[in-house]
Amino acid sequence: MTRRNAPVENASVLGDAFSMQQGVFADKSLLDVGHVPAPDHIVARNEEIRRLATALNPALTGGAPSNAFLYGKTGTGKSLCARYATTRIVEAAAENGVDVGRVIVDCSQDDTETRAVRATVRGLNDAEETGVVVPETGLGRSRYYGLLWEVLDARFDVALVVLDEIDCLDDTEYLMQLSRAAEAGKLDRCSVGVVGISNKIKYRNRLEERVKSSLQEREIVFTPYDREALREIIRSRLSAFDDDVVGEDVVSKCACLAAEEHGDARKAINLLRHAGELAASDGSDQLTADHVLDAKNVAERDRMRELIAGGTVQQKATLLAVTSLALVEKTRTFKTPEVYAAYEDICAETGLETLSKRRVHDLLREWEFLEVLEITRTGGGRARGSYLQHRLLEDPSLVRSAFDQSGRFAGVGFASGGTTTTWSNI
């Protein structure tokens, strides 16, 4: 039963708070980041899946698969397609009586050679079947390798090792070892196929020649989703909501905003979930395009707040300087002397030590790295020389509200007159 059908007289304040979440959602878990959609809900990736399946296809008869690398920005479905294609290969091989093992190693967690080898062998071992116990700690790298080769030969004809976020691995030795295992005589029965996944398209350039020639991998590039694909992806998650809660206008709004933001499906789904939460918490029984816009603002503000919270006091002061300028001027672009003067004002207002121009410049560069600022050198003509321009990439009122919400810099530097903020609590 949906909330809108509930008898109004039963709704106590507390009762409302508990029933709201069900108000719009039928099954919210469909919008979780980790949710794996059913195969017929994977949208617009047939070609990529087909190419990956083709590379891995020899595994179906117990042969050595080709290695494959998937490249593309975040949220383009790489992890999803790798998971799906490898699962299918394992299942189809089993029907032929071929034992294929599959493990997914998250290299952003297991980011050294030893950790990655350990995660692989722990993921593929079955102690009851092999009698091999793989301890969590205490073994050196070569022991973990030893156990890996032992487990692979004991259990599988083919092992598919998916190295997700492979660019986080601190070196490429593990790739080398995996791709040369058979040649080097480490394995008798089992062949290994590596599926590498990277958000950084330039990852391959960083691989040494010996690794490339040993891998001989196929490259599959995932391009950002366009608006139509994002719309389909969102539609396929609508069973997360009760009937008639989400209209086509909401689907379009989510798709448009996510398409503007690099075609990231993860962002599109998050947007839909946040919009649903906002609708539920204001007691609506339908989502509106405004809920989606609000959700976007909340998400951006949360991101800003996290970035700001991660900065040092001085770092915060430099961003505050640019933001306070952007709030009072018509532009978002400022030269170094303007930024420094605003920074000095903030220091004076709050009793913070004033750092040198050079130090402030270094701190501003860190905001540039975080893509909050853009710093460019502009030619001022022969007589005047060149100078730096600092452009705030975020909406200044959004940055301001993130500062306000952090409860620390509230009011400081925002031309709001004298404030009583003390720096001791920053």
Ligand X SMILES: Nc1ncnc2c1ncn2[C@@H]1O[C@H](COP(=O)(O)OP(=O)(O)O)[C@@H](O)[C@H]1O
- State the binding partner of 41 from ligand X, Mg ion, none, CB within 5 to 8 A by kind: ligand X
Q: By C-beta, is 66 or 79 nearer to Mg ion? A: 79
Rounded Cα–Cα distance for residues 15 and 271 (Å): 27
Structure tokens at 110: 């297991």
| Interacting positions 359-418 with ligand X (CB under 6 A) | none
Q: By C-beta, is 269 or 326 nearer to ligand X? A: 269
User: In sequence order, what are the beta bridge partners of 391?
Assistant: 333, 374
Closest CA to 33 of 5, 65, 74: 74
Question: Is 33 an interacting residue with respect to ligand X (CB under 6 A)?
Answer: yes
Rounded to the nearest whole angstrom, what is the least distance from the CB of residue 80 to ligand X in the complex?
A: 3
- Contact range with ligand X by CB under 6 A, out of 31-39, 186-194, 296-304, 387-395: 31-39
316 is in an annotated binding site: no
Q: By C-beta, is 126 or 219 nearer to ligand X? A: 219
- Site of tokens 């720096």: 423
Closest CA to 245 of 280, 291, 286: 286
Strands (E), 33-157: 68-72, 100-106
Rounded to the nearest whole angstrom, what is the least distance from the CB of residue 100 to ligand X in the complex?
A: 21
Among the listed residues 4, 28, 41, 88, the single contact to ligand X using CB under 6 A: 41
CB 263 within 8 A of CB 246: no
Query: What's the DSSP call for residue 239?
Result: G
Closest CA to 97 of 29, 158, 30: 158
Question: Is 101 an interacting residue with respect to ligand X (CB under 6 A)?
Answer: no
Q: By C-beta, is 217 or 277 nearer to Mg ion? A: 217
- Contact range with ligand X by CB under 6 A, out of 43-51, 108-116, 141-149, 416-424: 43-51
- Contact range with ligand X by CB under 6 A, out of 41-49, 118-126, 241-249, 365-373: 41-49
Rounded to the nearest whole angstrom, what is the least distance from the CB of residue 48 to ligand X in the complex?
A: 9
80 is in an annotated binding site: yes
Closest CA to 271 of 323, 241, 234: 234
- Per-residue x/- marks for ligand X, 229-268, CB under 6 A? ----x--x----------------------------xx--
305 is in an annotated binding site: no
CB 204 within 8 A of CB 68: no
Q: By C-beta, is 79 or 125 nearer to Mg ion? A: 79
Strand ranges of the sheet holding 68-72, from the earlier edge strand across to the other edge: 100-106, 158-164, 191-198, 68-72, 218-222
Among the listed residues 20, 43, 53, 292, the single contact to ligand X using CB under 6 A: 43
Question: Is 350 an interacting residue with respect to ligand X (CB under 6 A)?
Answer: no
112 is in an annotated binding site: no
Among the listed residues 20, 49, 80, 176, the single contact to ligand X using CB under 6 A: 80
Structure tokens at 95: 């029907």
Q: Could you please report the per-residue DSSP string of 260-324?
A: HTTT-HHHHHHHHHHHHHHHHHTT-SS--HHHHHHHHHHHHHHHHHHHHHTS-HHHHHHHHHHHH
Q: By C-beta, is 67 or 76 nearer to ligand X? A: 76
- State the binding partner of 292 from ligand X, Mg ion, none, CB within 5 to 8 A by kind: none
Question: Is 79 an interacting residue with respect to Mg ion (CB under 5 A)?
Answer: yes
Question: Is 42 an interacting residue with respect to ligand X (CB under 6 A)?
Answer: yes
Q: By C-beta, is 41 or 408 nearer to ligand X? A: 41
Backbone angles phi, psi at 66, to 5 degrees: -80, 150
- 359 in helix, strand or coil? helix
- State the binding partner of 42 from Mg ion, ligand X, none, CB within 5 to 8 A by kind: ligand X
Alpha-carbon distances of 97 from 100, 123, 412, rounded to whole Å: 9, 21, 69
Per CB under 5 A, residues contacting Mg ion are 79
Q: Please state the residue numbers annotated as binding site for ATP.
A: 76-80, 225, 237
Per CB under 6 A, residues contacting ligand X are 33, 35, 37, 41-45, 72, 74-80, 233, 236, 265-266, 269
